[in-house]
Amino acid sequence: QVQLVESGGGLVQPGGSLRLSCAASRSIYAMGWYRQAPEKERELVATITSGGSTNYKDSVKGRFTISRDNAKNTVALQMNSLKPEDTAVYFCAARAFGDTRWPYWGQGTQVTVSS
């Protein structure tokens, strides 16, 4: 069992920045962020393994950066040059090595990009 606690969501203007953080209750192999906009499917935003390997959704490459602190069991998502289409509920997720799905999820945090 892994508990995930998210923080950092909010309202920001287009072109602005936000930093999301997620703290896990214990060490875990991979952590990441998914998002779900109204009327849309939940989609992968970025993931990172304990070894530092990363994966990004194409539309956020160059704008978002995922990082983690293994000693603190935390993961962060730095979001720059935000666009209205980034508006969504963002979910922290985690999985153990060997998992074929992401069984652990945070409660979600709202990110709204609007003028």
DSSP result, 21-46: EEEESS--SEEEEEEE-TTS--EEEE
Which tokens sit at 13? 């203007």
- Report pLDDT for 60: 98
Query: Per-residue pLDDT tens for 26-48?
Result: 999 999 999 999 999 999 999 99
- Report pLDDT for 33: 98
Query: Per-residue pLDDT tens for 64-99?
Result: 999 999 999 999 999 999 999 999 999 999 999 999
pLDDT band of 58, cuts 50, 70, 90: very high
- Report pLDDT for 37: 97
- Report pLDDT for 90: 98
Q: Do 79 and 17 meet the contact criterion of CB atoms below 8 Å apart?
A: yes
